[in-house]
Structure 1
Amino acid sequence: MRIVLTGSIAIDRIMVFPGRFDEVIQPDKLHVLSLSVLIDRLQDTRGGVAANIAYSLALLGERPTLYGSAGKDATSYIEDLESIGVDTKFVHFSELPTATFTVMTDQANCQIGGFYPGAMSDAELLSFTEFENDAFFVISPHDPRQMAKQVEVCASKNYRLFYDVGQQVTNIPASDVQAGIEAAELLIVNDYEMGVLVEKTGWSQEEIVSKVRLCVVTLGENGCLIYQAGHRPVAVPAISLKKVVDPTGAGDAFRAGFLYGYVRNLPATECAELGATAAAYAIEHHGTQMHHFTKEVFLKRHRASYPKE
């Protein structure tokens, strides 16, 4: 099944702080917060949620369709994605610079970041109307207004949808978030984002779960919980890591691995295992598209990490 990914295509500027934020931030001074820390690593890498998911899917042998907006400064970036198997013919090139995500990670893997949308502001030019109902659509974080329009198209045409609201949940009107959840069959969020969803929508977690076919809440090093209406939550552990280098992009890699199994109608637990395996590769490298694997090596690691009786 064709996977159509809409969302950000970006440059990630990743900084590593050798200390801990909770040691330099005074909780009683947050209202006058002014902070500067010394970092010991700075790296610019290719990123963006949709592009990150597409990258890992391509490593798994898929040919996902990337549907987003990038600046002309990203021409070689898009060409490289095409070279590994990503369908990039629907990428729009803007006169604006490519979106940029700047993030600082501390030694506890806590992060502070900021996002400049740049070319992503042209997302209003993108619509799902040219696609037939033979694909699985992923709406990942980008321009909130266009996300709402794309949800509307999916709902009106009964398209299969993974609503990946992610960190944009704080910037999207409650009514649009509710519409996205109600149009989706799949929802993946981390535990913090689930809390924000509950607060923003006014729905309980149980109500949110009841509105989708499948809901996955990721818990970082503690794996994830799989929710299906009428069933008890199922826990899937994370896998052992060779080393912890950088958590940036782990969630996007998880989504790629999960989607790989999901479009093949594999059990939800196995989809989550595949997601956790992909996330491990991302965590073991700096940058969101610096990990590499062949499908055969990936599946071998998956089988070794989750042996079946």
Structure 2
Amino acid sequence: MRTVLTGSIAIDRIMVFPGRFSQVIQADKLHVLSLSVLIDQLKDTRGGVAANIAYTLALLEEKPVLYGSIGKEAASYIDDLAKMGINTEFVHFSDLPTATFTVMTDQADCQIGGFYPGAMSDASLLTFNEFNEEDFFVISPHDPDQMAKQVQVCKNKKFRMFYDVGQQVSNVSAEDLRAGMDAAELLIVNDYEMGVLVKKTGWTHEEIISKLKTCVVTLGEKGCKIYHQGHPPISVPAVPIDKVVDPTGAGDAFRAGFLCGYVRDFPVEECAEYGSIAAAYCIGQLGTQTHTFTTEEFFARHKTNYAKE
């Protein structure tokens, strides 16, 4: 089985604000908001949801298929991913600049960001003709219209699918959100995104869960809750860490760890534990593809944090 990752391949420009947004934003002045703050860290790193997931899967010695679009000026980015064992043969090189995500993070781990799609707009040139029902598909955030089309292809071809709407949840129509969850077997969202899904679709939390084989709601430092058909909800604690350096990409790392176990039909609780370990490695570094570990280190950390008595 191949894990096929659709979604963004991007450059992340990460800024760190040494204060808190809540201290500089006046709640009663949001309608005339004009804000400039002094940042103390600035770093351009490689990112994009699909590429981030692929990166952490490669650290786990997986060989996912990266299926997205990137600007020709960033060819070296794809070359480096290929050297990690990631299948990049289906990546499209666009004349448009590479997609860019600019984000500012404060000391409470709150974030303000903006996304320029650039080459990601060429996603319409990607088809699923190279794949078959033996593959597992991850529909990660990118162009909303193309996400909807890819969901429909998966549904029509009866492909197994993880609907990873993520930060595009506010930009995808209610109709397309419903279609995505109807076609998927797996959904992973944070608690805020789940709230948006409930509000936009008109479905209750329980109705959303009932449509999926597995639904995972991540809760930051509180870990996550898993809803798996035929089983009571399972709470999995987060991995304790000394310091959160940068939360950007933690969700992508979690998804990679989860997928590593999920495609092997491991128990969902163990999949979430893998996800939490991967996320802990990610947030200990600035950037979404700067964390490293060996599989020996990864599973030793898993044993330390989740060993069953």
> TM (normalized to structure 2)?
0.99
TM superposition outliers: structure 1 runs of 4+ over 6 Å: none
How far does residue 229 in structure 1 lie from its aligned partner after superposition?
A: 4.1
| Secondary structure of 2:170's aligned partner | helix
Shift in Å, 1:243: 2.4
**What is the CA distance between 1:16 and its match in structure 2?**
0.2
* 1:104-160 deviation line (CA, Å, top 9, x unaligned): 000000000000000000001112132111111000000111101100010011100
Mapped to 1, the partners of 2:104 and 2:168 lie a distance apart of: 18
- Indicate if the aligned counterparts of 1:214 and 1:228 stay in contact, CA closer than 8 A: yes
Distance 1:229 1:265 in 2: 14
CA distance in 2, matches of 1:13, 1:308: 40
Q: For the residues of structure 2 that align with 1:57 and 1:85, how far apart are their CA atoms?
A: 10
* Matched letter for residue 285 of structure 2: H
Contact 1:226-1:269 at 8 Å conserved across structures: yes
| Residue of structure 1 in register with 2:55 after alignment | 55
Q: Which amino acid aligns with 1:279?
A: A
CA RMSD of aligned residues (A): 0.8
- Unaligned stretches of 5+ in structure 2? none
Partners of 1:56 and 1:231 in 2: CA distance = 29
Aligned residue number for residue 283 of structure 1:
283
Quote the Cα distance in structure 2 between the aligned partners of 1:234 and 1:134: 29
Unaligned runs of 5+ in 1: none
Q: CA deviation at 1:230?
A: 5.0
Identity, % of aligned pairs? 73
- Separation in 1 of the partners of 2:117 and 2:139? 16
Q: Deviations over 1:235-282 (max 9, x none)?
A: 100011142100000000000000001011111110000000000000
The residue aligned with 2:93 is 93
Matches of 2:169 and 2:135 in 1, distance apart? 25
Which residues of 2 match residues 170-189 of structure 1 at below 5 A? 170-189=170-189
- Cα shift at 1:234: 1.2
Write the letter of the residue equivalent to 2:165.
V
User: Using the alignment, how far apart are the partners of 2:253 and 2:5 within structure 1?
Assistant: 13
SS of alignment partner, residue 114 of structure 1: strand
Structure 2: how far apart are the matches of 1:73 and 1:170?
A: 30
Partner of 1:34: 34
Aligned residue pairs: how many?
A: 309
Alignment match, 1:109 = 109
TM-score calculated relative to the size of structure 1: 0.99
State yes or no: 1:307 paired with 2:307.
yes
* 1:154-192, Cα deviation, whole Å (9 max, x unpaired): 001110000000010111111111000000000000000
